[in-house]
């Protein structure tokens, strides 16, 4: 059983706020009444989907607001008796005017609580998204999509450094992104479990998932692969589940793991972590890891956590 601890980087810990002090500021701002959220980030990372999620939460939503209008817009929100929360998108479409955003942000933060949310995505996923939508990159005049992505990422680095929340949308679909934003920004009681857990099964022969924060090796459990009638089945099939559960080590491991996670997850939440990837690996990623992942998902869901299940190497 191996646990990995990571610091937030450009490719890790989607949605992670930066430290407990920053998290406390975010919570204080949430309860302050009027609020402005500025969405920015890479083209193709899902900013419009995120903006729609904010609109569904009751925020007044504006796309592509010019930088020069942000300060008067914030003043309107500050004085408005009806529109208390607003979310706006400012991105590379602003061109050279985007360089003035940090200064505008400093002025706006003196007027009302303001949070900057930066969305990013891995390059291969961005290239695929632009290919699927057949839309050009905003910087794509005379450049390939990949070169445009590189240029945009470099141009947006100063804004990323100013962000209160950085969300990596590489492995999010639209619904998962919406759920993630709801978890971060929806008003909630202090006791709510504001953490999205991604439970991943995998096979060691295919490599450890790079996005995993915690990795647990379950190859010590009895292997159904050596039972001929179980070979075409997976860890989601009842006969395989019953077989693995026959052994005392299975039940004790899951009970201890469940207890460990129930202790650990609140600690991560206290430090501002809002997304956690927990991976379970067996040899091929078909039987034992799948069974354990499904069981942990059920247990954590019963405990009030939001859990999505990904079986990376299961045969289709």
Give the per-residue pLDDT at 187. Answer: 66
Give the per-residue pLDDT at 56. Answer: 81
Whether residue 251 has pLDDT greater than 50: yes
Give the per-residue pLDDT at 90. Answer: 92
Report for 23-32, 42-51, 90-99: range of highest mean pLDDT: 42-51
Contact 76, 53 (CB under 8 A): no
Q: What distances in angstroms separate CA 298 from CA 90, 197, 281, 301, 303, one per listed residue?
A: 40, 12, 18, 5, 9
Element (H, E) at 51: helix 47-56
Which backbone phi and psi does 162 adopt, to 5 degrees?
-90, -10
CATH homologous superfamily for the domain 32-185:
P-loop containing nucleotide triphosphate hydrolases (3.40.50.300)
Whether residue 1 has pLDDT greater than 80: no
d(CA 134, CA 121): 18
d(CA 284, CA 240): 15
User: 123-133 and 145-162 are packed helices; what angle lies between their axes, rounded to 10 degrees?
Assistant: 120
d(CA 150, CA 154): 6
User: Of 194, 164, 196, 188, which Cα lies nearest the Cα of 31?
Assistant: 188
Assign 3-class secondary structure to 94-136: HHHHHHHHHHHHHHHHCCCCEEEEEEECCHHHHHHHHHHHCCC
What is the maximum alpha-carbon separation in the chain?
A: 71
Query: Residue 22: how many CB atoms within 10 A of its CB?
Result: 13
Give the pTM: 0.55
Give the per-residue pLDDT at 103. Answer: 92
Q: Is the dihedral of CA 221, 225, 227, 233 positive or negative?
A: positive
Q: Where are the domains of the chain?
A: 32-185, 196-311
* pLDDT, tens only, 112-162: 999 999 999 988 888 888 877 777 777 777 677 788 888 888 989 999 999
Residue 111 backbone zone (phi > 0: left; psi -120 to 50: alpha; other: beta): alpha
* pLDDT, tens only, 24-33: 444 444 444 7
């Amino acid at each position: 059983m191996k646990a990995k601890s990571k610091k937030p980087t450009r490719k890790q810990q989607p949605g992670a706020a930066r430290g407990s002090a920053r998290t406390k500021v975010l919570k204080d701002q949430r309860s302050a009444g009027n609020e402005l959220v500025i969405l920015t980030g890479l083209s193709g990372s899902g900013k419009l989907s995120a903006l729609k999620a904010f609109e569904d939460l009751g925020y007044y939503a504006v796309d592509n607001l010019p930088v020069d209008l942000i300060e008067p817009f914030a003043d309107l929100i500050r004085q408005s008796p009806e529109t208390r929360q607003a979310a706006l998108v400012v991105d590379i479409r602003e061109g050279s005017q985007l360089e003035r955003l940090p200064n505008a942000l400093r002025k706006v933060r003196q007027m009302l609580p303001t949070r900057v949310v930066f969305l990013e995505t891995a390059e291969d996923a961005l290239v695929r998204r632009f290919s699927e939508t057949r839309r050009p990159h905003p910087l794509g005049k005379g450049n390939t999509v990949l070169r445009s992505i590189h240029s945009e990422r470099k141009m947006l680095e100063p804004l990323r450094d100013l962000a209160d929340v950085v969300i990596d949308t590489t492995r999010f679909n639209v619904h998962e992104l919406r759920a993630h934003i709801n978890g971060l920004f929806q008003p909630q009681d202090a006791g709510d479990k504001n953490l999205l857990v991604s439970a991943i099964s995998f096979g060691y022969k295919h490599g450890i998932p790079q996005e995993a924060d915690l990795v647990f090796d379950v190859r010590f459990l009895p292997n159904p692969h050596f039972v001929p009638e179980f070979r075409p089945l997976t860890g989601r099939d009842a006969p395989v589940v019953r077989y693995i559960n026959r052994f005392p080590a299975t039940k004790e491991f899951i009970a201890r793991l469940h207890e460990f996670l129930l202790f650990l997850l609140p600690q991560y939440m206290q430090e501002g972590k809002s997304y956690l990837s927990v991976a379970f690996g067996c040899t091929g990623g078909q039987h034992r890891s799948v069974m354990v992942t499904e069981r942990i998902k059920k247990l954590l869901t019963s405990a009030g956590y939001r859990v999505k299940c990904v079986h990376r190497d299961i045969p289709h």
